[in-house]
Amino acid sequence: PQQETPDQFAIVGELTEFRMTPGATAFSERGHEGEYFERPIDEIDERCELPLLIRQGKAGLSHAILQADAWNYSRRFLRPAGRAGGIGVTLKDPVKATGEFVTPWFVVATAESPGALIEHNYIRDALVADQRPEPDWIVPGKVIRLLDLTTRAGIEGVDFALANGLQYVEYDAGWYGNQSDPKADATTSIPGLDVPAVCEYGRKKGVGVILYVNKIHLELQSAQIFPAYGKWGVKGLKFGFVDGRTQAGINNVHRWAELALRHGMVVDVHDNYRPTGIHLRLPNLLTVEGIRGNEWMPTSRHNVTLPFTRFIAGAGDYTICYLNGRVQTTDAHQLALAVTHFSPLQFVYWYGRPKDYADCMGKEWFKLVPVTWDETRVISGAVGEHYAVARRRGADWFIGGIASEAGHPLKLPLDFLDSDTVYRATIYRDADAAELEIQRDVPVQSGSVLEEKLRPTGGVAIMIRK
């Protein structure tokens, strides 16, 4: 029966339940930086993360369960519902509500294959009416982290960025002292580092400076941090170790992103926050972590699983590690991630310094590859086995192909190209005795089919231009 809305109440749980055909399987993940494992639908983790990819057999329909617009709400998890094919919902903690209250959307997408799920932006479609105009100053781009926390490293980093098509440099944890110390002051820098000077140098060169700030100091110093950084000329912030699970923690992230928006800064949220379309409300929120990225040195199987699972929800800051001996994938695989793993702030060269890439062969690829796209076409893919996607920016197409530990032969039909037009392709593939093999000026057109044999853990990156 209709009742008067109480002034305050708590949402302690949800009775929402999804019913799938018995025998379906799901790619379950526990933990915001966990791995994905395919299991019977009744055996997913008790706190399974969203989004969830479900398959009705390898040849059957594929489904994705996502959430949209998780604003002023607690983190949702999925769990077995206790009946065959049932999936229930668990909240991280009770939600405090006042007056009329709107819960986040659940979005259920269905397609003939997992790859078909990737081509559509379901969250954006659900929230298009809530989209906020994007200010002209918001600039997506590629970023190099500065391993040395000095003014000199900043100047050298800006010069490297300018010469190599990067839009930002970033000072990560430590630039203002011990990030775990509440007494550290995030409005001052350590000796040897003059952040305003680097910002001014970057401004003259057209390269922005991004600063990392731990949640401890965002909580303690938000009234001082944002005005100070605005005066310095800081162009972006990376929030560290945020609480992206409780209602209070999620609200803090959104409040800080709103403050950054007011002061002209883009945002990258790190650790356990996940995208739900909030970037439509806060257009400066360009990317988030909430992903098992290269800091874990994950397997190639994991990399080939992510496009079908975590990336269905939105952007992911994976941190590309090109020419790093610790990664479990090839150099061409790391190049291809710039296309397969979407992020409007794309960190490249993650564990390196500018001098490490003075003569590298992949530098030209990272200089030219965009970070935002006008169109996406999945060419082929099987979860955890291989994946090839073509993305268009303007008239140019970029293809990324990656393989698991088994390797995979790829056939890449180029039927998405304009008819009656001859393009030129540049192909970056793995080589036996060199960093890469680069094949240039390959004529291709709409009827062409490129064939690449990806080695185990390998990849291919292709640039196609008129």
Over the stretch 43-80, which tens digit does the pLDDT of each residue have?
999 999 999 999 998 778 999 999 999 999 999 999 99
Rounded to whole angstroms, the Cα distance separating 177 from 188 reads 9
Residue 22 is predicted with a pLDDT of 84
DSSP β-bridge partners for residue 464: 397, 425
When pLDDT is averaged across residues 3-9 and rounded to a whole number, the result is: 73
Q: For position 1, what pLDDT does the model report?
A: 46
For 227-255, letters b (16+ CB in 10 Å) and e give: ebbeebbbbbbbbbebbbbbbebbebbbe
Most confident of 20-24, 82-86, 311-315: 311-315
How open is the CA angle 247-129-254, to the nearest 5 degrees?
A: 25
CA-to-CA separations, 320 to 293, 317, 334, in angstroms, rounded: 8, 9, 6
pTM of the model: 0.96
**Nearest to residue 296, comparing CAs of 271, 268, 327?**
327
Structure tokens at 276: 């739900």
Strands (E), 147-243: 168-171, 208-214, 236-242
Write out pLDDT tens, residues 103-155. 999 999 999 999 999 999 889 888 876 788 999 999 999 999 999 999 999 99
Q: Which residues of 6-45 are buried (b: 16+ CB within 10 A; e: fewer)?
A: eeeeeeeeeeeebebeeebbbbbbeebbbbbeeeebbebb
| Integer Cα distance of 53 and 63 in angstroms | 6
Q: Is the peptide bond before 51 cis (omega within 30 degrees of 0)?
A: yes
Q: Look at residue 317 in the predicted model and tell me its pLDDT.
A: 98
Predicted pLDDT at 433: 78
Structure tokens at 8: 């305050």
Mean pLDDT for the chain overall: 96
Q: Domains in the chain and their CATH numbers? A: 8-120 (2.70.98.10), 141-372 (3.20.20.70), 376-465 (2.60.40.1180)
pLDDT at 59: 78
- Is the pLDDT score of 3 beyond 80? no
